[in-house]
């Protein structure tokens, strides 16, 4: 261990060292950064299929950070003590899991099994990054944790939805059978710096298109809704759950609900773009509504989102401009 790292007290546990699977992805990289800021040593595991070393490059010189190329679906070995395992490895956008259906199912099953095994062997707390997609195209609105969902298991989105539902069941079985200290967080739509411009999700797609002066492609009539949470708020909620000792599942997301068309219009305004909206075919099984019931997060964790949409959007647009990823993505091959 690095001698200059200060331990962090998470609830009744002292967390000196954490493993983050998928730690070089969008969410994982922000989580690694927050843990380091909290004085926790971090082992970042990633196979770089959808994440990338550039997301954690700024962390490589920090005390207590270790980056290891690793496929969590293979045998995983992390020497030394581990107090917390955060399992965030998985393709998470439609573009990725439609292109990588078998890998998505495998990381949800075998990858979760290996991550749980690591936590069991180390006597560590385990936190599974699940998703609002376990609710499918919901028939209950907003969605509480008690809702079992409305998922099409053989539809194109089923590989991701069912991978996460299975991962939740496996996590619960490890808790009841082996006594592993587990938690499940159901993550709702999140945005912020380090999103890939071509990852297929609405906000990075709209920002990329607006900065390039291209039409913003809105699916269907744009009246379907999403509840979007700025990444800093999401990470704070995840760490609050890790600190709490609660098993979950707990919804973490911003309950402010926006139509997809409104999101596109706000992106045009925030970028100062002259782009127009272009309506395109709506994907199969695209949810009509999505909004978390965050009662448990408020009452059990004392958590609620703090970054307003306008402020978070401004920060995200600034990052896309200054990082150059939007320009690079829009440039001809």
The parent domain of residue 312 ranges over 196-226+256-287+307-328
Single out the residue of 289, 290, 286, 291 nearest to residue 156, CA to CA: 286
Single out the residue of 196, 202, 199, 197 nearest to residue 219, CA to CA: 202
More confident residue, 194 or 323: 194
Q: Is the pLDDT of residue 2 over 60?
A: no
Q: Is the pLDDT of residue 5 over 70?
A: no
Query: What is the mean predicted confidence (pLDDT) over 1-20?
Result: 63
Q: Is the pLDDT of residue 3 over 50?
A: no
Task: Based on the fold, state whether residues 209 and 165 are members of the same structural domain.
Answer: no
Is 70 part of a structural domain of the chain?
A: yes
Task: Based on the fold, state whether residues 26 and 144 are members of the same structural domain.
Answer: yes
pLDDT by residue (tens digit) across 194-245?
Answer: 999 999 999 999 999 999 999 999 999 999 999 999 999 999 999 999 989 8
Question: How high is the pLDDT of residue 12?
Answer: 54
CB 56 within 8 A of CB 79: no
Task: Based on the fold, state whether residues 181 and 49 are members of the same structural domain.
Answer: yes
Tell me the H-state helices in 76-143. Answer: 94-99, 101-106, 112-122
**CATH number, position 55:** 3.40.50.720
Question: How high is the pLDDT of residue 257?
Answer: 94
Is 85 part of a structural domain of the chain?
A: yes
Question: How high is the pLDDT of residue 305?
Answer: 97
Q: Is the pLDDT of residue 301 over 70?
A: yes
Q: Is the pLDDT of residue 22 over 90?
A: yes
pLDDT by residue (tens digit) across 139-180?
Answer: 999 999 999 999 999 998 999 999 999 999 999 999 999 999
pTM score:
0.93
Question: How high is the pLDDT of residue 283?
Answer: 87
pLDDT by residue (tens digit) across 69-109?
Answer: 999 999 899 999 999 999 999 999 889 999 999 999 999 99
Residue 119 contacts by C-beta under 8 Å, 6 or more apart in sequence?
Answer: 82, 85, 125, 126, 174, 180, 181, 182
> What domain count does the chain have?
2
Query: Which residues does residue 257 pair with via DSSP β-bridges, in sequence order?
Result: 227
Separation between Cα atoms, residue 229 and residue 218, nearest integer Å: 20
Question: How high is the pLDDT of residue 9?
Answer: 53
Task: Based on the fold, state whether residues 238 and 320 are members of the same structural domain.
Answer: no
Confidence class of residue 328 from pLDDT cuts 50, 70 and 90? Answer: low
Is 296 part of a structural domain of the chain?
A: no
CB 244 within 8 A of CB 304: no
Is 145 part of a structural domain of the chain?
A: yes
Confidence class of residue 286 from pLDDT cuts 50, 70 and 90? Answer: confident
Is 294 part of a structural domain of the chain?
A: no
Question: How high is the pLDDT of residue 11?
Answer: 54
The encoded tokens of residue 181 equal 């200290």
Active site residues: 160
Separation between Cα atoms, residue 279 and residue 274, nearest integer Å: 16
């Amino acid at each position: 261990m690095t001698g200059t790292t200060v331990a962090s007290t998470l609830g009744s546990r002292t967390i000196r060292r954490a493993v983050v699977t998928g730690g070089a992805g969008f969410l994982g990289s922000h989580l690694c950064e927050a843990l380091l800021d909290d004085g926790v040593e971090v082992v970042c595991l990633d196979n770089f299929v959808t994440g990338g070393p550039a997301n954690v490059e700024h962390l490589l010189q920090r005390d207590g950070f270790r980056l290891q190329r690793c496929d969590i679906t293979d045998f995983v070995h992390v020497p030394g003590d581990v107090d917390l395992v955060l399992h965030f490895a998985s393709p998470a956008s439609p573009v990725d899991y439609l292109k990588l259906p078998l890998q998505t199912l495998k990381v949800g099953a075998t990858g979760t099994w290996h991550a749980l095994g690591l936590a069991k062997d180390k006597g560590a707390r385990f936190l599974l990054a699940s998703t609002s997609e376990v609710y499918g195209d919901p028939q209950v609105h907003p969605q509480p944790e008690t809702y079992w969902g409305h998922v099409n298991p053989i539809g194109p989105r089923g590989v991701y939805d069912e991978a996460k539902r299975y991962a939740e069941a496996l996590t619960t079985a490890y808790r009841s059978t082996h006594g592993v200290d587990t938690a499940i967080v159901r993550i709702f739509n999140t945005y912020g710096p380090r999103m890939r411009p071509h990852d297929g999700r609405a906000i990075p797609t709209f920002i990329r298109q607006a900065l390039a002066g291209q039409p913003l492609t809105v699916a269907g009539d744009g009246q379907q809704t999403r509840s979007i949470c700025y990444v800093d708020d999401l990470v704070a909620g995840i760490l609050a759950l890790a600190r709490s000792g609660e098993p979950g599942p707990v919804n973490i997301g911003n309950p402010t609900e926006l139509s997809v068309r409104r999101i596109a219009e706000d992106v045009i305004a925030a970028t100062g773009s002259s782009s127009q909206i272009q309506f395109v075919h709506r994907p199969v099984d695209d949810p009509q509504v999505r909004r978390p019931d965050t009662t448990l997060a408020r009452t059990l964790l004392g958590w609620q989102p703090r970054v307003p949409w306008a402020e978070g959007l401004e920060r995200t647009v600034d990052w896309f401009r200054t990082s150059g990823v939007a320009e690079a993505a829009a440039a001809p091959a």
